[in-house]
Amino acid sequence: MADMSDKAKKVLGGDGARDTSNASSMPKHTLNRKLHTAFWTHMLNGLTSHYSGQESNRMSLLYFVLGALDLLDALPSDERKAEIIDWIYAQQILPDESGEFTSYCGWRGSPFLGHPHTTGGSGAVEHDHCHIAMAYTALANLCVLGDDFGRVNREAVLTALRELQCPDGSFRPNTFPCESDMRFVFCATAISAFLDDWSGMNAKKADEYILRSRTYEKVFGQGPGQEGHGGSTYCAVAALSLLGKLGDLKEKEDSVRWLLERQTLGFQGRPNKDPDTCYSWWVGGSLTMLDGFDMVDVDLCRSFTYQCETKMGGFGKYPGSPPDVLHSYYGLCGLSLMKKDGLPSIYVPLGISMRAAAS
């Protein structure tokens, strides 16, 4: 490991808290684009059977696949893109004629309820409702594919979004009584940013909820009083960034210190956990937004990510784990942040490439 910078020493204290005793013995790696492109192309053409239980989340699975192909400069042909765009719009839930189900509008994750395929979407009916994460990933997918949002029913999406915000400022994922936390606050801010319209949420209340969820370590839990975590910290910091409030956040150096301390080889999501490939994105992305990524031991983190690479392409959660689309995509995102594999830059607050975000 290279000598730690003065900035890193100041934030971490002394010579830093990381155990880097194995760093010198770690092999060098290069990204096998052909292998990974083949893995992701296979995933696009048909997910393996163990994803069948995730049928209702297929929109989010598509987000991982398209995002990875975008980073690898291997998106499908224009004809195939048009087919996928039509499928995405077919999952859009539109207002019904009676106006009874306005809170249901947005996106479902797949046609698992048996709706006929219509490229403009279908009207809301009882038990068929949006999920806020599917709306976020649907819009992200459309951006990656270069769509102009011409078929998005913006008014319906934003009306439903308003009805998903809770009195405390948080968001729930759908209209039924269920959990509400930082994940869905992030989704709401991302949807608003994609549509460039903030009328679907009370931004002040959302901001207040985020700040109430900050822990004594100066990172963020899923809600007030909950444990600080790398994933919820990413959601909170990204939401603040999209809201234009990140510059107002106090004691950022303490946040950066906690996040840097999550690096052992790769990053862990919270203290006393094993490192996991996806946290090179959740923690690395948080550090990027907080201007602290330059203190990451990139060689160590990158070596851990490649230990999780599989012979068939993709990345597992841990070394020796089979690949899955979530960890494989976020593994690539982490490598993009490290800037050593020729991958394009990511617009961190939205979780898509800079190219897609600018389209």
> What pLDDT, in 10s, does the model give residues 285-303?
999 999 999 999 999 999 9
**Quick one: pLDDT at residue 3?**
47
List the structure tokens of 18.
């990381």
Query: Are the C-beta atoms of 161 and 119 separated by less than 8 Å?
Result: no
Between the CA of residue 283 and those of 22, 237, 304, 346, what are the distances in Å? 22, 11, 15, 14
Between the CA of residue 280 and those of 84, 126, 148, 161, 286, what are the distances in Å? 29, 40, 31, 30, 10
**Quick one: pLDDT at residue 24?**
47
**Quick one: pLDDT at residue 167?**
97
- Report the interhelical angle of 279-289 vs 298-307 (nearest 10°): 160
List the structure tokens of 218.
């100066």
> What pLDDT, in 10s, does the model give residues 196-247?
999 999 999 999 999 999 999 999 999 999 999 999 999 999 999 999 999 9
| Closest CA relative to residue 183, chosen from 162, 197, 164, 198 | 164
**Quick one: pLDDT at residue 303?**
97
Residue 261 pLDDT > 90, yes or no? yes
Measured distance CA(21)–CA(141) in Å, rounded: 41
Phi, psi dihedral angles at 38 (to 5 degrees) = -65, -40
**Quick one: pLDDT at residue 343?**
98
Measured distance CA(204)–CA(210) in Å, rounded: 10
Q: Which of 3-17, 206-220, 259-273, 304-318 has the lowest mean pLDDT?
A: 3-17
> What pLDDT, in 10s, does the model give residues 65-121?
999 999 999 999 999 999 999 999 999 999 887 777 788 889 999 988 777 777 777
- Could you tell me which residues are beta bridge partners of residue 165? 171
**Quick one: pLDDT at residue 2?**
42
pLDDT band at 10 (very low <50, low <70, confident <90, very high): low
> What pLDDT, in 10s, does the model give residues 12-52?
665 544 554 455 456 678 999 999 999 999 999 999 999 99
3-class DSSP state of 277: coil
Give one DSSP letter per residue of 149-197, joined into a string: -TT--HHHHHHHHHHHB-TTS-B-SSSSS---BHHHHHHHHHHHHHHT-
Phi, psi dihedral angles at 283 (to 5 degrees) = -80, -45
With a CB cutoff of 8 Å and minimum separation 6, the contacts of 329 are 63, 64, 65, 67, 68
End-to-end CA distance of the chain: 39
**Quick one: pLDDT at residue 1?**
35
- Could you tell me which residues are beta bridge partners of residue 267? 263
Query: Are the C-beta atoms of 58 and 110 separated by less than 8 Å?
Result: yes
> What pLDDT, in 10s, does the model give residues 148-205?
999 999 999 999 999 999 999 999 999 888 899 999 999 999 999 999 999 999 999 9
